[in-house]
Structure 1
Amino acid sequence: MSPRALFRSVAFAEAVTWTLLLIGLFLKYVTETTEVGVRIGGGIHGFVFLCYAAVTCFMWVNQKWPAKTGLLALVSAVIPYATIPVEKSLDKRGMLNGGWRLAAGGEEPHGLLEKLQAWVLRKPITAIVVALIAVAAVFSFLLFLGPPDTWFA
């Protein structure tokens, strides 16, 4: 999968999961009928949010985005549906073009982040297993903490 296809897919999925969460919030707080939508939509959205953040950081390194661009892409996940216009803007400006520059046979990595990315691209199955375990661990920890509105209560 190309960097462009990966980023576009995850940006779209992040926006879709906002819809699930917002529907759940509507059912819980407006109609006061059920909390199931928040539990399910919130969980799915949280998982996809973490995936979007990881993919955005990966793209940031691969595409050599300036700090402002990388931070904007990360922050866009916090605002409902903002990942779509950010993705469209990056695509229009050619900032999603190209392949995986640090893949086998590509550029030589420099620095810790590029070396990590090169390892991921050169050992994708091992990296996917490690990433899934890491995301599941973070996700489980966040579930253990409970909804964000209860963290400081």
Structure 2
Amino acid sequence: MSPRVLFRIFAFAELVTWAGLITALIVRGAGVTDALVRPAGGIHGFVFLSYCVVTVLLWVDRRWKVGTGLLGLGSAIIPFATLPFELVADKKGLFGGPNWRLGPDGERPRGFVEHVLAWILKHPWLSILLLLVAVTAAFTILLWLGPPIPMGDH
């Protein structure tokens, strides 16, 4: 899968899960039910973490400037901002060609971070499994810690 397509999928998923979470919060605020907030928040949190992983992968592979990488990560914090970031990044050519720069037939990695990404791209199925486990572990820890604002303190 090309870097552009991968990023586009996760940027759109982040946007959709923001919509779901906001809708659940509105439904709760209207007094209808609060039962939707936990699943919508959970799905959004998982997609948020996954989007961040994909953003870092592209940041390394495409050698984005620090500001671009931080803007990409920050766009996930603002509702629906991943779409404008993705559109502008695509227009500026930040996703490059269809192949990964550090893929099996690509450039030789330099430094630890590029070696890790090159390994990930050389072993995609194992990497997906390991990244899924890592995101799930982070997600589980965050769920255990609780919401950023305790429910009774709003």
Q: Is TM (by shorter chain) over 0.5?
A: yes
Aligned to 1:45: 44
Structure 1 residue 123: Cα displacement? 0.9
Aligned to 1:32: 31
In structure 2, C-alpha distance between the alignment counterparts of 1:141 and 1:97, rounded to whole Å: 35
In structure 1, C-alpha distance between the alignment counterparts of 2:96 and 2:129, rounded to whole Å: 27
**1:48-93 residue CA offsets vs partner (Å, 9 max, x unmatched):** 0000000000000011100010000100000000000010000001
Q: Which amino acid aligns with 2:71?
A: L
Aligned to 1:72: 71
Identity, in percent, stands at: 50
Q: TM-score, normalised by structure 2?
A: 0.94
Given the alignment of the two structures, is residue 121 of structure 1 paired with residue 121 of structure 2, yes or no? Answer: yes
In structure 1, C-alpha distance between the alignment counterparts of 2:116 and 2:150, rounded to whole Å: 35
Equivalenced residue count is 151
5+ long unaligned stretches in structure 1: none
In structure 2, C-alpha distance between the alignment counterparts of 1:123 and 1:147, rounded to whole Å: 35
Structure 1 residue 105: Cα displacement? 2.0
Q: Which amino acid aligns with 2:21?
A: L
Q: Which amino acid aligns with 1:59?
A: L
5+ long unaligned stretches in structure 2: none
Q: TM-score, normalised by structure 1?
A: 0.95
Structure 1 residue 124: Cα displacement? 1.1
Q: Which amino acid aligns with 1:66?
A: K
What's the Cα RMSD here?
A: 1.2
Q: Which amino acid aligns with 1:126?
A: L
- Which portions of structure 1, spanning 4 or more consecutive aligned residues, are displaced by more than 6 angstroms? none
Structure 1 residue 150: Cα displacement? 2.4
Residue aligned with 2:103, SS: coil
In structure 1, C-alpha distance between the alignment counterparts of 2:124 and 2:6, rounded to whole Å: 14
Q: Which has the larger share of helix?
A: 1
Aligned to 1:85: 84
In structure 2, C-alpha distance between the alignment counterparts of 1:130 and 1:64, rounded to whole Å: 23
Structure 1 residue 110: Cα displacement? 0.6
